[in-house]
Structure 1
Amino acid sequence: MPSFVCYAVAHGNAATMYPTLPREYIGKTLIVTVVEPDSDLAKELKKI
């Protein structure tokens, strides 16, 4: 199962992911986990 690290960016009154996901994921079910920016996990993900 592929994994991606994305960031939520403002898009009007909603948020979109940056970078965007590849086209082949359109219509797929996704699991989104919100990670607080000051958490240890977020700090580790920024190193990737």
Structure 2
Amino acid sequence: MVMGLSKRDLNRKKKSLEMKLQELEEKAKKNPMNKQLQEEIADLKKKIEKAG
């Protein structure tokens, strides 16, 4: 666990990650062949799992 972050800060960080994930998924729908977008989405999902 990251030191110095309160539960509220962690929730806020998780929310911002989820919002970014939504944006990337919207872009990926428009451009499904973009490999970099797919990798970013996978990476964000891992970060959200760790934050949650």
Fold match (TM-score > 0.5): no
Q: Which protein is bigger by CA-based radius of gyration? A: 2
TM-score class normalised by the smaller sequence: under 0.3
Higher RCO structure (Cα 8 Å, ≥6 apart): 2
More strand by share: 1
* TM-score of the superposed pair, with normalisation by structure 2: 0.25
